[in-house]
Every structure is written in structure tokens, then in C-alpha cells.
Structure 1
Amino acid sequence: MIVQIYTAQSAAEAVALAERGVNHVGLTPTTVGLPGQIGEDVAAEAVTALRGRARSVALSVESDLDEIARMAHAVGPDILHLCGEVGAVDPKAVRRLRGMLPEGMEIMQAIAVGADDDLAMAIAYAEVADFLILDSYTPDVQGVGAAGVTHDWSRSAGIVEAVDVPVVLAGGLSAANVAEAIRAVRPWGVDSLTHTNRALPGGGFEKDLDAVAAFVAASR
């Protein structure tokens, strides 16, 4: 079971996640106000530090292909995670974007489970993306994900059955519920952000490395 953890906010934190068995380390290089966002220079340092330890994933909530590609070249992750507003970058645009990315960079497309036509969207994006990530959606956070709540796992299970690409399950997962989620959905991987965080005084968070280790153990 592949474990993906968002969001590392430094190279040191990214390496600490890898040392606890995380396969995919998520980074949030943006300035739009997302949880745990970091500068592109910090994200690029984390990507370099992770080489040989874990795969790096950098998300984008942008809809402009040139801007997405610019960030991808600046940060250089192994995987580009597209999680903008539903339909903002359609499958045809994802296909065009692939030709704008560094050679070998893979694409992970977020699917808002519970949105209208989520199954049809997943099937369409599976034709152009290397991975899908099935996530919860809330209007409180820009893009798809970072909601910290679960969704209808039966819908996710239906998507897993319908597509031929690896699927990561996200949305409100913790050490307490991830094994149940895996049994229900049978994904290729699982993802955690909110429930592997430790709140900091004055706002913000850091990764709770004990919670991360517990999540990895429960996932496997």
C-alpha cells in the first residue's frame, strides 16, 4: 500500500516523513492561501532532499497551463498533482499540459468524489493522467482536497473498479479509519493531510511524526 502524506513545509520535514515510511511526500508550492503552503524555492529544496528516499509530489490549484508548467519546471517534483476547481483543467487540457512538463514527470489528477458526474470525470481523466486521487471537496478551501472530512467510500470503490490507473484515496483519513477505508475501497494508495498534523501556537501546523508513523503502520 502506497502512503502519501501532505504537506511537508521544509526539506528536513520531507526527509523525516520519508524516514517514517512515507512513499509520496506532498508539497504545496503556492501563494494562494492553502494549508501548509511554501515557496517554490523551499519546495525545490525538498524535492532534491527526497531523491533516493521517496517520491515528491507538488500540487497546483491553478487553471492556466503556462503557470502550472512554470511551477512544475521550477520545483521539479516527480509527480504533479492537479487539484484545481472541478473542471477548471479538463482532460483535453491535461493532455496538452503533459507536453509542457519536464520529461518523465507524472500527473496525478484529483477527482471530487460526490460532485456531479464524478465517475464519468474519473474515467475521462484516467485516459490522460498517470494517477487519480479521490478526495473530498469543500467550498471553504480552494481546489479539491484539504477538507479533512471523509466522503462516500462506496463511490470511490466504484471509481477504483472502473479505471485502469493507480488510485490514491484521500479525504479525512487517519490511523483510526484508514484500514477500514482500504477494505472498503481497495485503492492503490492512501493519503493524509489534516489528521497527521500538529497545530502550532498562533496558527499553522507541523507534521505529527508519531501520527504519521501510526498512519503508515495502519495502512499496511
Structure 2
Amino acid sequence: MRVKICGITSVDDAIAVAHAGADALGLVFYAASPRAVSLDVARKISLAAGPFMSVTGLFVNADPEFVHSVLNQVPLQLLQFHGDEAEAYCESFKRPYMKAIRMRPGLEVSSAIAAYPGASGILLDAYRPGVPGGTGDTFDWARVPQGLSTPLVLAGGLTPTNVREAIAATRVYGVDVSGGVESAPGKKDHSKLTAFINNARRCMASA
């Protein structure tokens, strides 16, 4: 089970995430988010995370020039698009990317996933009108499609308490958490993030 801890805002939290055994961490480049980071801080976090950590940059309907400016200054291994970005936009940066799909009512999930054949993975997140992510809400895990070749990452309202149930219900490739392991927006609780990672790993070990 792969685990990503998103919304990292400090070097201390990045080091804690790495020591706890996460596979990836996320940096938010969306000014409206309480977890947004400056380019200077993002670069420091990326370098502190270590060579085997997948550092992910999260964008929401960003101007392409801004994305390129981030890529020129921050070493990112993966891009994550959380807005209404089309496939051509996502592909234009010539980097591996993950497209977030918010599970709004009535969405035909498999068709939405199929619209991004070049994605390294698809992140399925809870839907709240006008909010691109980080809501702390869950969605009906029975809606997660099975048997697809595209790796699926589950997000939305995950915590150390419910992550094992979520994995058992969905059998996804990975899980992504932000608010569920925080003491305040953008401040990670190191005990919670360690518990989250350990519980996710134990779920797969016992499967």
C-alpha cells in the first residue's frame, strides 16, 4: 500500500513524513489553500525529503507559466491537478501526473478516469461544491471502480482510524491524507501521521 501525506508546509514535517515511511509528500501551490507554500519553502522541503521520496506538486487550474516557474525552482517528481484541467493541459508539462476527480453525485466514474489515459494515476476525492479538495469529507467507497488498469489513489476524510476500513473496501493502489493527520491546517501531528502509515501498511499485510 502506497501512502502520500499532502499539505506539507515545513521541513520538520517533511522529515517526519520521510522517517515514518511514506512514499510521497504533497506541496500545495494553490494560494487559496491554508496549506499553500512559497517556492522558497517548497524547495527546502523537497531537498529535505530525501532522494527516495516522491515529491508532488498540487495545482488547481493554474496558469501554465506558473506551473513552469515552480518546476524551474522546485524539484518535483509528480504533478497533481485538482481543478478542471483537460488531458492536453496535464500532458503539456511532460512530467508524470495524477489527476484528481471529485466524486460528485451522478458522476460516471469510469468514464471520467478514461478521459486521462496518460495519467500515472487517478486520485478520487470527496466532492463539495466550490472546494477543490482538503474538505475532510468522505464519499461512498462503494463507488470506487474495480479492475481498472489505472492506479487509483483514495482521498477524502481519511484518518488513522478509518484508513484500514477504506483500504479493505476499495483495494486501491494508494491512499492520500492531509487534514486527517493534522493538529491544525498545514501542521502535521507526527503521531497521527505515523499511526496512519502503520495502519495502512498493516491492512495490506493482513489481507
Task: Work out whether residues 6 and 27 of structure 1, in 8 Å CA contact, stay in contact via their aligned partners in 2.
Answer: yes
For residue 92 of structure 1, what is the amino acid of its counterpart? Answer: A
What residue is the counterpart of 1:216 in the other structure? Answer: 197
1:113: how far off?
Answer: 1.6
What residue is the counterpart of 1:155 in the other structure? Answer: 143
What residue is the counterpart of 1:183 in the other structure? Answer: 168
1:98: how far off?
Answer: 3.4
What residue is the counterpart of 1:94 in the other structure? Answer: 90
For residue 190 of structure 1, what is the amino acid of its counterpart? Answer: V
Residue ranges of structure 2 left out of the alignment (5+ in a row): 202-207
What residue is the counterpart of 2:128 in the other structure? Answer: 138
Q: Hey, which bits of structure 1, 4+ residues long, moved more than 3 A?
A: none
> Are 1:15 and 2:26 an aligned pair?
no
> Are 1:121 and 2:112 an aligned pair?
yes
Q: How far apart, CA to CA, are the structure 1 residues paired with 2:80 and 2:33?
A: 14
What residue is the counterpart of 1:195 in the other structure? Answer: 180
1:12: how far off?
Answer: 2.3
Q: How far apart, CA to CA, are the structure 1 residues paired with 2:87 and 2:186?
A: 34
Q: How far apart, CA to CA, are the structure 2 residues paired with 1:94 and 1:39?
A: 22
What residue is the counterpart of 1:206 in the other structure? Answer: 187
The superposition leaves residues 156-176 of structure 1 with CA deviations (integer Å, 9 ceiling, x where unpaired) of: 1x1x42x31221110001111
SS of the residue 2:98 aligns to = strand
Q: Residues 58 and 176 of structure 1: is their aligned pair in 2 closer, same or farther, counting only changes over 3 Å? A: same
> Are 1:33 and 2:32 an aligned pair?
yes
SS of the residue 2:157 aligns to = coil
TM-score w.r.t. structure 2 length?
0.89
Q: Any residues of structure 2 matched to 1:70-81 within 5 Å, and which? A: 70-81=69-80
For residue 146 of structure 1, what is the amino acid of its counterpart? Answer: G
The superposition leaves residues 20-52 of structure 1 with CA deviations (integer Å, 9 ceiling, x where unpaired) of: 11111111133x220311101111111111132
The superposition leaves residues 98-129 of structure 1 with CA deviations (integer Å, 9 ceiling, x where unpaired) of: 33xxxxx421110112353332111121x121
**Quick one: percent identity of the two aligned structures?**
31
Q: How far apart, CA to CA, are the structure 2 residues paired with 1:90 and 1:108?
A: 12
1:14: how far off?
Answer: 0.6
Q: How far apart, CA to CA, are the structure 2 residues paired with 1:64 and 1:37?
A: 16
Q: Which moved more, 1:72-81 or 1:61-70?
A: 61-70
Aligned residues: 200
What residue is the counterpart of 1:102 in the other structure? Answer: none
Task: Work out whether residues 26 and 55 of structure 2, in 8 Å CA contact, stay in contact via their aligned partners in 1.
Answer: yes
The superposition leaves residues 140-191 of structure 1 with CA deviations (integer Å, 9 ceiling, x where unpaired) of: 53x2x201011111111x1x42x31221110001111111111111011111
